[in-house]
Amino acid sequence: MRGEYVDGRDAKWERDDPRFRVLIFRGPDNAVTAMDIVDATIEEALESARALSNGHEHLWALALVDDLSRRERGLIWLSGMDYTRTPVTARDRQLRRQMQDRYLSARVRDGMPPVLPNGLRLIRVFPEWVHGWPLWENGTGEYHLDAGSLDISPELGSALFDWNDEWQDREYDQPLTDPDGWRRRGIALTDRLQRELDGIAEVRPEFLW
């Protein structure tokens, strides 16, 4: 997120009739139900999304329907994204994260296991000033995962340990010596982790953000 100061009078036109679209993704196959919300404010559209998802029981996304920009209908994502689409960019991953986090938070609130609709666990990857693996799982008693909470190969576990140590091997406010190399190694480790956890978990590389 970033903010930019602008001339508040530079708009050439304005409208007060937005069309919002709520998409609900149900079940392990992400069956999609879409509804357009008209004659509504953004607050009302968000409340509609919560209601249609039965209080975040299902994954949901909210978009602004745009019929003007390219002379054909398109969507501007306001919250979440098309969950059936594989995330490619960092922005895609952030929007997917937004959907997953509110869904999992609702499950934990209701006393259910923190797993995604397809039954997979969600493993987060990012370094931190702690000893051990840079792996985390929200909504569990462990949160910070270790060798006893995740079944991966010893070689991968050791490599993840070293990768996190490399991030810590500096003063708190100093940059990494080789940030591009460290990042590339993190991507390779995350890909390997996803392969080892195929059918068990979705791996989320949060260090990329």
Q: Please, what's the b/e burial string for 24-37 (b: 16 or more CB within 10 A of its CB; e: otherwise)?
A: bbbeeebeeeeeeb
How many other β-carbons are positioned within 10 Å of the β-carbon of residue 200? 15
* pLDDT(69) > 80: no
| pLDDT at residue 80 in the model | 97
**In this structure, are residues 52 and 70 in contact, taking their beta carbons and an 8 Å threshold?**
no
Widest CA span of the chain, in angstroms? Answer: 61
* pLDDT(104) > 90: yes
Mean pLDDT across 77-104: 95
- Start-to-end CA distance of the chain, whole Å, equals 11
**Portion of the chain with pLDDT greater than 70, in percent:** 100
Q: Of 37, 86, 42, 35, whose CA–CA distance to 58 is shortest?
A: 35
52 CB-near residues (< 8 Å, 6+ apart): 22, 24, 33, 35, 60
DSSP 58-110: SEEEEEEEESSTTSS-EEEEEE---TTSPP-SHHHHHHHHHHHHHHHHHHHHT
Query: For residue 177, what is the DSSP state?
Result: S
pTM: predicted TM-score of the whole model, two decimal places:
0.90
21's enclosing H/E stretch is strand 19-26
| Sequence spans of domains, the chain | 19-84, 120-208
Would you say the C-alpha torsion 197, 198, 200, 204 has a positive or negative sign? positive
Query: For residue 178, what is the DSSP state?
Result: S
| pLDDT at residue 150 in the model | 92
